[in-house]
Amino acid sequence: MKDKIIDADFSEIEVENYTEKYSEEDFWTKIKNNVTNIGISLIYKALQLYYVTQSPKCPMKVKAGIYGALGYLISPFDIIPDFTPIAGYTDDAAAIGVALILAQMYIDDNIRAQAKGKIKDIFGAKALEKLDED
């Protein structure tokens, strides 16, 4: 199965089987260990997607797209390797952005509150302040 996503330059990126690469454990490890590189804003968006997948209102087709994007985020095999300075997470951000478009009608105030609550739990209140500045 090949999924195509659009990157920041609107060119197609082929994403093979990233849905299968998604695991909740790897997601939390990536989030906790890479906040400096990923950035709190992208983590907030990824957390919104994570919580949308837990909503019974979200259809399985949308969940599959979200799992593909989150799988791409946690995968060490990216179009632009994550360790690349400055640009390392731009392709991941594009995948998350596309998934946010798919999921936008299911992201409500409760989902946003859950995502912000998790940021506060993991990174502290200062991270929330930084998020509000962005």
28-72 pLDDT per residue, tens? 888 887 777 788 999 999 999 999 999 999 999 999 999 999 988
CB atoms near residue 96 (< 10 Å) = 23
Which of 5 and 118 is assigned the larger pLDDT? 118
3-state secondary structure 17-81: CHHHHCCHHHHHHHHHHCHHHHCHHHHHHHHHHHHHHCCCCCCHHHHHHHHHHHHHHHCCCCCCC
Q: pTM here?
A: 0.76
Q: Are 51 and 115 in contact (CB under 8 A)?
A: yes
Question: With bands split at pLDDT 50, 70 and 90, how would you rate the model's confidence at 134?
Answer: low
Give the CA angle between residues 111, 107, 12 to the nearest 5°.
Answer: 125
Residues 6+ apart with CB under 8 A from 78: 72, 91, 92
Q: Which range, of 12-26, 49-63, 120-134, averages the lowest pLDDT?
A: 12-26
The two three-digit tokens of residue 30, written as one number:
């990536």
